[in-house]
């Protein structure tokens, strides 16, 4: 594996900007004024047991700074993690865009990427059921370009006007501030039940996409339709995609809730450790390009952010690679202070009139003013552009740049007219000319009115286990809703998507299904009658392969975490052989034992456990190896260890993970829920299986065999 610390950084230009860095090595303590500190243990006081003195400027400076350490967290997307990396364009897009970083084949651009959940506070669990933010700052030679997207290609609402309502509804309820980082409560579903436009996104949010296995295994989407403009001024519409090289994978909801207790930093740790281990997360970058003249050829509106363009209609062309290769040095300075904005553009890219995007263009600068406290937030190292900033803006809180001379206006003669406007051919940004003429009006376009077709498309495209998980998610969420009328309205909405889904959910959440048939039962007041009719008479069967995670499984175990469960007496040879095979494929092996005491193997080898059966759980691993060795197996089943060992195995089994029973571990196998399953189950490997090590590796690469849930009579 590559070592991230030794990797020659491709971000050298960004590094040059980070001239405020220090690692304090070999340095003495100073105050903020650079005064060396002689005593950092005691405050200044009148006598050893006397009162502290106001004069103690060193104590006061230290405590004042401490008192002001917090800044307001992001109003949404507060919980997040980020990393540095590089974006490489492999196939020029010059035909469509003049953006320099997309048009020069082979060009590398430094980036910082921040992933996030939306609803929870900064300290909330990573495993909440939620949309994930996928925000990228490209430090291009033409200025910073921010693509502030999500891991879901559509959004809940069509107009920025509804965003505060959506966010208020999902956030903890205002009277008692419950629940944290969860949509399973009255106000969220009350709002949703009255917003049929949210139904497509609800399908995604209730699917396992909302509980990713890792940030490294999520797709990224620009969501809105954007515009590409080429050198000739020709415009194409574009949708942006990032497809993870490791495939798209999720955990089961039961795992998510348990991981939240065992390791609520699971995604943060996973990203950090992968980069430290040199398993750099990678995505293919792709575009869907739509010629201007095709704008109206779809049966939805390209400006409607609740719609995606099915890949069958416009294929995603893969043209670049995004790689994350360096962890931040300082979480606050970088990940917390980075300020994204969909309005940070470069020539060659432009906005569309998507009414959600248009509203965002106001919000992001505004929010930085309250979060970062100054219009000079662009001067914080992580936010600086590679090319130096030249303009006549001046002063303000915490100004860093020292502009020389007398001039801060334009036009001027005193400064020789500088800084002066750039012509278009010199890279000066111009907005794409567009004829706009219409009535000033507050209204939604009729072309935005079909709220159910793509919700159906998504549901139809899911594999059976994915459908089951989605149904269970809806049942979980709606069961937390205390007001029956809200549950009823939501089920009414689901009925427009899929009758079977609606009645399955209805049964579990106490809604009378027969009510759904009544003409006025649950039909939303503004629902399009055309849509309703087609739903009822002729259920749509359209589907799209790209929408199921099942179709993204890759033949790799790279960076998968395999738990080796062992105790004293373990067979050292088998452990070493399997470990080296797994590590050759770039998987990560972690040892789990009854305690953290070193484990003594049959040949005297000592293995150091990273975890004990009580400090972790199988939900934190991708697969388990019950290590060979009769004595080890016996020790794992002694009075102390038995409950932990069996819980480990049974939960891994429940979650359809690959489990490998090494030699002489039959006792564990027989005591667990796996008993009797070894020969009929592709996820269960034993030492008697053919090529058992290789079969295990294959099973791990499948991620999970969700199809087995039913046989196990134990839905995950
Ligand atoms: Fe955001 N959003 N958003 N959003 N958003 C913010 O900006 C907002 C929307 C997204 O890691 C805030 O700096 C409005 C869609 C991400 O720092 C804020 C509307 C999409 C992040 C804001 C939207 C996003 C944010 C909060 C509707 C997917 C985290 C802190 C008009 C395409 C970026 C901040 C990071 C953050 C406003 C809708 C993605 C308040 C008003 C749609 C990934 O400005």
CATH number, domain containing residue 541: 1.20.1370.20
In angstroms, what is the span from residue 420 Cα to ligand 1's centroid? 33
Question: How far lies 314's CA from each of 96, 317, 452, in Å?
Answer: 15, 9, 21
* Arithmetic mean of pLDDT, 188-203: 98
Verify that 570 and 652 share a domain, yes or no: yes
Which of 635, 611, 608, 634 lies closest to 624, judged by CA?
A: 611
Work out the pLDDT band at 411, boundaries 50, 70, 90.
very high
Verify that 93 and 231 share a domain, yes or no: yes
DSSP 336: I
Per-residue pLDDT tens over the stretch 146-163: 999 999 999 999 999 999
Going along 209-274, which residue ranges are E strands? Answer: 220-221, 226-229, 235-244
Bridge partners of residue 59, in order along the sequence: none
Verify that 639 and 565 share a domain, yes or no: yes
Per-residue pLDDT tens over the stretch 38-95: 999 999 999 999 999 999 999 999 999 999 999 999 999 999 999 999 999 999 999 9
364 annotated binding-site participant: yes
What does the alpha-carbon distance between residue 74 and residue 120 come to, in Å, rounded to a whole number? 10
Which of 332, 388, 547 lies closest to 461, judged by CA?
A: 547
Work out the pLDDT band at 421, boundaries 50, 70, 90.
very high
Q: Is the pLDDT of residue 524 over 60?
A: no
Verify that 260 and 324 share a domain, yes or no: yes
What does the alpha-carbon distance between residue 414 and residue 552 come to, in Å, rounded to a whole number? 62
pLDDT reported for residue 493 = 96
Per-residue pLDDT tens over the stretch 573-599: 999 999 999 999 999 999 999 999 999
Verify that 261 and 357 share a domain, yes or no: yes
Dihedral sign, CA of 568, 574, 578, 579? positive
What is the three-class DSSP state of 158?
coil
560 annotated binding-site participant: no
Q: Is the pLDDT of residue 521 over 70?
A: no
What does the alpha-carbon distance between residue 458 and residue 472 come to, in Å, rounded to a whole number? 16
In angstroms, what is the span from residue 354 Cα to ligand 1's centroid? 15
Per-residue pLDDT tens over the stretch 87-119: 999 999 999 999 999 999 999 999 999 999 999
Domain boundary among 499, 527, 550: 550
pLDDT reported for residue 12 = 59
- For residue 594, give both structure tokens: 């009854």
Verify that 530 and 588 share a domain, yes or no: no
pLDDT reported for residue 31 = 95
% the chain with pLDDT above 70: 93
Ligand 1 neighbours (beta carbon < 6 A): 74-77, 80, 114, 116, 133, 135, 148-150, 155, 160, 163, 223, 305, 339-340, 356, 359-360, 363-364, 367
In angstroms, what is the span from residue 76 Cα to ligand 1's centroid? 7
* Arithmetic mean of pLDDT, 300-313: 98
Question: How far lies 194's CA from each of 100, 166, 206, in Å?
Answer: 44, 11, 17
For residue 368, which atom of ligand 1 is closest to its CA?
Answer: 13
Verify that 573 and 526 share a domain, yes or no: no
Verify that 546 and 576 share a domain, yes or no: no
Any residues with CB less than 8 A from the CB of 165 and at least 6 apart, and which? 191
- For residue 572, give both structure tokens: 């050292």
Domain membership of residue 705 (yes or no) is yes
| Residue length of the chain | 716
Helices (H), 212-354: 253-262, 266-276
In angstroms, what is the span from residue 375 Cα to ligand 1's centroid? 18
Domain membership of residue 17 (yes or no) is no
What does the alpha-carbon distance between residue 309 and residue 181 come to, in Å, rounded to a whole number? 30
Going along 500-617, which residue ranges are E strands? Answer: 561-565, 588-593, 599-600, 606-607, 611-612
Any residues with CB less than 8 A from the CB of 294 and at least 6 apart, and which? 237
Verify that 599 and 531 share a domain, yes or no: no
Verify that 189 and 233 share a domain, yes or no: yes
Alpha-carbon Rg of the chain, whole angstroms? 28
* Arithmetic mean of pLDDT, 599-611: 98
Per-residue pLDDT tens over the stretch 460-494: 999 999 999 999 999 999 999 999 999 999 999 99
Domain boundary among 550, 567, 586: 550
461: containing domain = 452-550
% the chain with pLDDT above 90: 89
Q: Is the pLDDT of residue 526 over 80?
A: no
CA angle, residues 5, 11, 16, in degrees to nearest 5:
105
Domain membership of residue 62 (yes or no) is no
Helices (H), 592-691: 630-636, 642-654, 666-671
Work out the pLDDT band at 682, boundaries 50, 70, 90.
confident
Domain membership of residue 49 (yes or no) is no
CATH number, domain containing residue 358: 2.40.180.10
Residues serving a catalytic function are 77, 150
Domain membership of residue 359 (yes or no) is yes
Total domain count, the chain: 3
Going along 245-351, which residue ranges are E strands? Answer: 282-291, 317-326, 349-350
pLDDT reported for residue 1 = 43
Verify that 270 and 150 share a domain, yes or no: yes
pLDDT reported for residue 389 = 94
Verify that 163 and 265 share a domain, yes or no: yes
Domain membership of residue 385 (yes or no) is no
pLDDT reported for residue 535 = 45
What does the alpha-carbon distance between residue 541 and residue 448 come to, in Å, rounded to a whole number? 22
Bridge partners of residue 80, in order along the sequence: 116
Domain boundary among 499, 531, 550: 550
pLDDT reported for residue 538 = 57
Q: Is the pLDDT of residue 522 over 90?
A: no
163 annotated binding-site participant: yes
Domain membership of residue 59 (yes or no) is no
pLDDT reported for residue 714 = 61
Domain membership of residue 270 (yes or no) is yes
Mean model confidence pLDDT for the chain: 93
pLDDT reported for residue 530 = 47
Dihedral sign, CA of 374, 376, 382, 383? positive
What does the alpha-carbon distance between residue 620 and residue 652 come to, in Å, rounded to a whole number? 10
Q: Is the pLDDT of residue 614 over 50?
A: yes
Work out the pLDDT band at 3, boundaries 50, 70, 90.
very low
Q: Please name the residue that has the structure tokens 């489990």.
A: 659
In this structure, the number of other CB atoms found within 10 A of the CB of residue 318 comes to: 15
Per-residue pLDDT tens over the stretch 253-277: 999 999 999 999 999 999 999 999 9
């Amino acid at each position: 594996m590559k070592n991230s610390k030794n990797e020659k950084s491709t971000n050298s230009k960004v590094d040059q900007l980070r001239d405020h860095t220090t690692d304090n090595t070999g340095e003495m303590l100073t105050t903020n004024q650079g005064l060396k500190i002689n005593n950092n243990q005691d405050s200044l006081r009148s006598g050893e047991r006397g009162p502290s003195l106001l004069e103690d400027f060193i104590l006061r400076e230290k405590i004042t700074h401490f008192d002001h350490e917090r800044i307001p967290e992001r109003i949404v997307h507060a919980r997040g993690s980020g990393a540095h990396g590089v974006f490489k364009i492999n196939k020029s897009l010059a035909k469509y865009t003049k953006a320099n970083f997309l048009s020069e084949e082979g060009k590398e651009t430094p980036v910082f990427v921040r992933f996030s959940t939306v609803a929870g506070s900064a300290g909330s669990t990573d495993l909440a059921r939620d949309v994930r933010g996928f925000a990228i700052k490209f430090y291009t030679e033409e200025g910073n370009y921010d693509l502030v997207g999500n891991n879901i290609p559509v959004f809940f609402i069509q107009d920025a006007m509804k965003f505060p309502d959506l966010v208020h509804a999902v956030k903890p309820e205002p009277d008692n501030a419950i629940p944290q980082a969860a949509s399973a409560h009255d106000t969220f579903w009350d709002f949703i039940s009255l917003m049929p436009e949210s139904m497509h996104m609800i399908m995604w949010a209730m699917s396992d996409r909302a509980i990713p296995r890792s940030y490294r295994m999520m797709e990224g989407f620009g969501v809105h339709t954007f515009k590409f403009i080429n050198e000739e001024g020709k415009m194409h519409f574009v949708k942006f995609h990032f497809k993870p090289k490791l495939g798209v994978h999720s955990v089961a909801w039961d795992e998510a809730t348990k991981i939240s207790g065992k390791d609520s930093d699971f995604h943060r740790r996973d990203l950090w450790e992968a980069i430290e281990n040199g398993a750099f997360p990678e995505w293919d970058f792709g575009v869907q390009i739509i010629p201007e003249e095709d704008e109206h050829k779809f049966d939805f509106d390209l400006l409607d952010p609740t719609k995606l363009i099915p890949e069958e209609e416009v294929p995603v062309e893969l043209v670049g690679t995004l790689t994350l290769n360096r962890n931040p040095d300082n979480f606050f300075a970088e990940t917390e202070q980075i300020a994204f904005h969909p309005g940070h553009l470069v020539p060659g890219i432009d906005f569309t009139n998507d009414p959600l995007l248009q509203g965002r263009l106001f919000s992001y600068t505004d929010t930085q003013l309250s979060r970062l406290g100054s219009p000079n937030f662009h001067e914080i190292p992580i936010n600086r552009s590679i090319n130096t900033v030249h303009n006549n803006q001046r002063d303000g809180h915490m100004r860093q740049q020292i502009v020389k001379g007398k001039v801060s206006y334009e036009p001027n003669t005193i400064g020789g007219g500088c800084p002066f406007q750039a012509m278009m051919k010199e890279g000066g940004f111009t907005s794409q000319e567009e004829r706009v003429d219409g009535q000033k009006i507050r209204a939604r376009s009729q072309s935005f009115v079909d709220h159910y077709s793509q919700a159906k498309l998504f549901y139809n495209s899911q594999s059976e286990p994915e459908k089951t998980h989605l149904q269970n998610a809806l049942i979980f969420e709606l069961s937390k809703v205390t007001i029956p009328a809200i549950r009823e309205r939501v089920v009414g909405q689901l009925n427009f998507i899929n009758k079977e889904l609606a009645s399955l959910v209805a049964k579990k959440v106490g809604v009378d299904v027969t009510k759904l048939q009544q003409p006025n039962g649950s039909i939303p007041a503004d629902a399009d009658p055309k849509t309703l009719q087609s739903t009822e008479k002729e259920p749509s069967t359209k589907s799209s392969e790209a929408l199921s995670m099942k179709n993204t499984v890759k033949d790799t175990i790279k960076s998968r975490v395999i738990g080796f469960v062992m105790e004293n007496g373990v067979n050292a040879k088998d452990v070493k052989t399997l470990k080296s095979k797994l590590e050759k494929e770039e998987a990560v092996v972690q040892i789990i034992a009854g305690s953290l005491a070193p484990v003594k193997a049959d040949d005297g080898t000592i293995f150091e456990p990273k975890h004990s059966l009580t400090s972790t759980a199988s939900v934190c691993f991708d697969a388990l190896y019950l290590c060979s060795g009769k004595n080890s197996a016996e020790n794992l089943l002694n009075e102390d260890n038995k409950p932990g060992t069996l819980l480990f195995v049974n939960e891994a089994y429940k979650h359809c993970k690959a489990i490998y029973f090494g030699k002489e571990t039959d006792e564990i196998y027989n005591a667990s829920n796996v008993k009797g399953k070894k020969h009929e189950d592709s996820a269960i490997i034993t030492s008697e299986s053919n090529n058992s090590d290789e079969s295990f590796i294959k099973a791990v690469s499948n991620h999970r065999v969700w199809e087995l849930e039913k046989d196990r009579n134990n839905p995950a």
